[in-house]
Structure 1
Amino acid sequence: MEDLFLPGIALTILIGIAYLTGRLADRAHERALVRDEALLSHQYLDSGDAVPDTVSIQQSRMVTGKVVIAEDRFRNLLARLRVFVGGRLAAHEAAVIRAKREAVLRLRINAKGASHIIGLRFQSAEISRGMIEMIASGTALYTDHRPTGGKPASLPDDGVNISHHNLLTELASASMAFLLICWGIYTASGFAIEWAASSISVKDEVAIWSELEPEIIDGHRVGSQRNVFENYLVDLINSVPKEALGPARDYDFDVMIILDSSPNAAALPGGLILVNSGMLDLVESENELLSILGHEIGHYNGRDHLEGLGREIVGVALSAMMFQTDAILTTWVAGWPKLLADRDHSRSQELDADDWSLKILMAKYGHVGGVSRTFEKLAAMQGDHSVMDYLSTHPHPMDRVNRLDDMARERGLPIGETIDLQTGFDNFLKKFDEIPAQSLEFQ
């Protein structure tokens, strides 16, 4: 969640600064235009090429006026959203009109002394993102009619060609449309990913993952390549009756301990389970340990590991295809529909995986003692419920404790004594006395 909220706070501040500084610059430019237009002599401007019959031409020449105008960052970001969702580019309209007025102002200065400027034309080009070059050109007519003070008879249209909606309103409407489109894309891709994940066999999954991540799965680690505690974890999984593992029984499981203080574990494709050392620090019994491993095995049964990988790939692909790498606002905004689309799905996956913890503990020990103990510790670490819990892809640990306890009670599952972790580990060592002492370094 920090990946969205912390950048969001920073972006809100930066967007606010861009909005305020941009509006100040707009108003300063508008005041300068009004002042300078009033200072120039009255000249007749016409986009047509006809020479007025009422004047006598003494001289004529080609005149131009050029200006390069930069749009503020706020307008640029707003325009990017609008380009994606479609609709009127109101953010650019006012800037283009001001560029036209500035170019005409400079053209009139170049045509000082002319009473008429006919054949008025505009050309524009984008020099770089957010910078527009505007060129106004025309034919200046020097006649027997001398120009007097005042504004010209014609200026670039600033009526129907400019949206008068507040830019903040434009930002809100464009962002909402953008969110809905992204949410639809992520949701639709989720159904496709779910179907694809269920269609891949374990054999194909291992083959594909071995090609994608040869450093992690180059063949399959044997006991001599693991430290002693990793061998203990693998032996604990293998001690569960195969039929109790569900579809995951087809995996040749491997467990890798990651030196990371955060209490977490993850199921990777191919049957590799990652367990952080921070999670092991919380565990006091072998039952708790198997409950954690059983939860990850539950993810394999639900094909959640493949669906999660698929959703990440789709997210990266869509970001690369639809959003430029430096479009910070659009990339951040797109993260919200992805979070909302994944939220309920991920929570359902977590709760289903918790069910497998119950089944696996029951098959191994004949009771489910210790199944919720780790979640109780995580709940104490996380604290009470908060607004952030609503957006989290994982249920609050205490909700999971209550759910596991309720299911055990409803199903009549016994709660027995747990096996101390050191006792379980010692029992494992007794079976494998030939393990070298140096392999015990982790412990």
Structure 2
Amino acid sequence: MEEVILPGILLTILIGIAYLTGRVADGVHDRALKRDESLLPRQVLDSGSNIPGDIKLHDTAMVTGKVVIAEDRFRNLLARLRIFVGGRLSAHEASITRAKREAMLRLRTNAKGASHIIGIRFDSTQLSRGMIEMIVSGTALYTDHRPKGGFPSALPDDGVNISHRNLLIEFLSASTAFLLICWGIYAASGLLVEWASHEISVEDEVAIWSQLEPELINHHRTADDRSLAENYLVDLINSIPKTALGPAAAYDFDVVIVPDPTPNAAALPGGLILVHTGMIDLVESENELLSILGHEIGHYNGRDHLEGLGREVVGVALSAMMFQTDAVLTTWIAGWPKLLTDLDYSRSQELDADNWSLKILMAKYGHVGEVARTFEKLGNMQGGHSVMDYLATHPHPQDRVDRLYKMARDQNLPMGEPVDLEEAFEDFLVRTGEIPESAREEGRKFSLTTTKD
């Protein structure tokens, strides 16, 4: 959740800066317009093309005025919200009227000495993203009436179509409507995603995702395709009694070790588990390692990986609807593997997955020793509790430690001696014929993150 809250605070600050700078620029421009308009002689402005009958015409001339206006970031954001929820784009109406006034000011300056300007027409052209050229044209009439004095320009529509609501009120109104609509869509789609994730069979899940990652899922890797450490992790999962795996027993699990110092692991569709080297370096016993793998297996049992992915799809779709572009969708589709590894599950999903790690350790070793050891280390790395813990999707590691030990006590689950990770890995290498028994007798050491094929 920190990944959402902190960018949200930054976004709010940027929106505030955009609002304040935009209002300052608006004020400066409006005062300059009023000053310059007051200096111009009093001219009769008319969008009609009829020459008044009470004047003596001496000469006529075609006059124009043009101005280029740039995008106001705050008004643009407000307009996008309004497009999504419906209603008048009053945020841009004021900008367009100001552009008309500026263009009229330049037209009137070019018509110096004219008493009337008739046939006034406005036109606009988009130059590029965020820039529009406003052009006004008309016919200047030079008559026996000499204009005197000055007064602010009155546009043909006199600005009657402009909303006088404060932009902050308009922004809050549009934002509230937008958030309510998004919340409604997200809540409804969330129920649908939850239902669909439990209805999709493992076979269908593998068939769907094998189209996206055929090398890892469709063409399932063999022992020759994996490293020795990856083969050990797969063997460790396969050594779990099938009855302890729950619905996840239908998966043909594969494990990929990712060279990343961050202590993390992730469950991807199709039974593919990613384990960072940082996580392997953190654990000291096979029990710890299986607790982590058991936690990821628990996510498969809860279908959490599909639910999280489905909600991400809904969020991206809402973003694409708002910004009216498929670029967001294209970017998401291109980077879906990384997105899956970064998915945050809810607190309840994380705690349910912890329950499965207890069941799996008990089934494998007959005790649950070291079930919370990794979380103890992560808690020491993260530090104590903070206000952000209440906003985080994952429970604080120390809370998970306390809960796991409480569950073990409540179920009378024994705590036993752990299996040293290096010794367990060496046993695997000897058992599979990767190294001879004599290599162990010679005192050679084999580590999961340093052993080469």
TM over 0.5: yes
Q: Which residue in the other structure is 2:370 paired with?
A: 370
The 1:52/1:226 distance shift into structure 2, 3 A limit, reads: closer
Q: Which residue in the other structure is 1:306 paired with?
A: 306
How far apart, in 2, do the equivalents of 1:321 and 1:50 lie? 48
Report if aligned partners of 1:240, 1:363 keep a CA contact under 8 Å in 2: yes
Cα deviation for residue 133 of structure 1 reads: 2.2
- 1:279-324 CA-to-partner distances (Å, cap 9, x unmatched) read 1122122221111111111111111222233333444444345326
Unmatched runs of 5 consecutive residues or more in structure 2: 332-341, 440-445
**Secondary structure in 2 matching 1:65:** strand
Report if aligned partners of 1:343, 1:391 keep a CA contact under 8 Å in 2: no
Cα deviation for residue 115 of structure 1 reads: 1.8
Q: Which residue in the other structure is 2:43 paired with?
A: 43
How far apart, in 2, do the equivalents of 1:314 and 1:92 lie? 30
Report if aligned partners of 1:241, 1:364 keep a CA contact under 8 Å in 2: yes
How far apart, in 1, do the equivalents of 2:158 and 2:345 lie? 50
Could you tell me the TM-score, scaled by structure 1's length?
0.86
Q: Which residue in the other structure is 2:254 paired with?
A: 254
Cα deviation for residue 219 of structure 1 reads: 2.2
The 1:270/1:407 distance shift into structure 2, 3 A limit, reads: same
Report if aligned partners of 1:41, 1:152 keep a CA contact under 8 Å in 2: no
Cα deviation for residue 15 of structure 1 reads: 4.3
Report if aligned partners of 2:296, 2:353 keep a CA contact under 8 Å in 1: yes
Q: Which residue in the other structure is 2:79 paired with?
A: 79
How far apart, in 1, do the equivalents of 2:294 and 2:90 lie? 55
Q: Which residue in the other structure is 1:412 paired with?
A: 412
Report if aligned partners of 2:280, 2:449 keep a CA contact under 8 Å in 1: no
Q: Which residue in the other structure is 1:360 paired with?
A: 360
How far apart, in 2, do the equivalents of 1:344 and 1:418 lie? 30
Q: Which residue in the other structure is 1:442 paired with?
A: 450
Report if aligned partners of 1:229, 1:442 keep a CA contact under 8 Å in 2: no
- 1:141-190 CA-to-partner distances (Å, cap 9, x unmatched) read 33332211222673455664333444344444434433333333333332
The 1:32/1:270 distance shift into structure 2, 3 A limit, reads: same
Q: Which residue in the other structure is 1:338 paired with?
A: none
Cα deviation for residue 23 of structure 1 reads: 3.4
173-182 or 288-297, larger mean C-alpha shift: 173-182
Cα deviation for residue 354 of structure 1 reads: 0.9
Which letter does structure 1 place at the counterpart of 2:278? G
Q: Which residue in the other structure is 1:284 paired with?
A: 284
Unmatched runs of 5 consecutive residues or more in structure 1: 332-341
Q: Which residue in the other structure is 1:334 paired with?
A: none
Report if aligned partners of 1:227, 1:442 keep a CA contact under 8 Å in 2: no
Q: Which residue in the other structure is 2:335 paired with?
A: none
How far apart, in 1, do the equivalents of 2:269 and 2:85 lie? 36
Q: Which residue in the other structure is 1:190 paired with?
A: 190
How far apart, in 2, do the equivalents of 1:360 and 1:381 lie? 26
**Secondary structure in 1 matching 2:162:** coil
How far apart, in 1, do the equivalents of 2:71 and 2:227 lie? 60
Cα deviation for residue 14 of structure 1 reads: 4.7
Report if aligned partners of 1:101, 1:156 keep a CA contact under 8 Å in 2: no
Matching of residues 39-438 of structure 1 within 5 Å: 39-151=39-151, 154-155=154-155, 160-323=160-323, 346-435=346-435
Report if aligned partners of 1:252, 1:271 keep a CA contact under 8 Å in 2: yes
How far apart, in 1, do the equivalents of 2:67 and 2:422 lie? 78
- 1:116-150 CA-to-partner distances (Å, cap 9, x unmatched) read 22333323333333322222233333333221122
How far apart, in 1, do the equivalents of 2:13 and 2:434 lie? 62
The 1:220/1:154 distance shift into structure 2, 3 A limit, reads: closer
The 1:423/1:154 distance shift into structure 2, 3 A limit, reads: closer
Between the aligned residues of both structures, percent identity stands at 74
Which letter does structure 1 place at the counterpart of 2:294? G
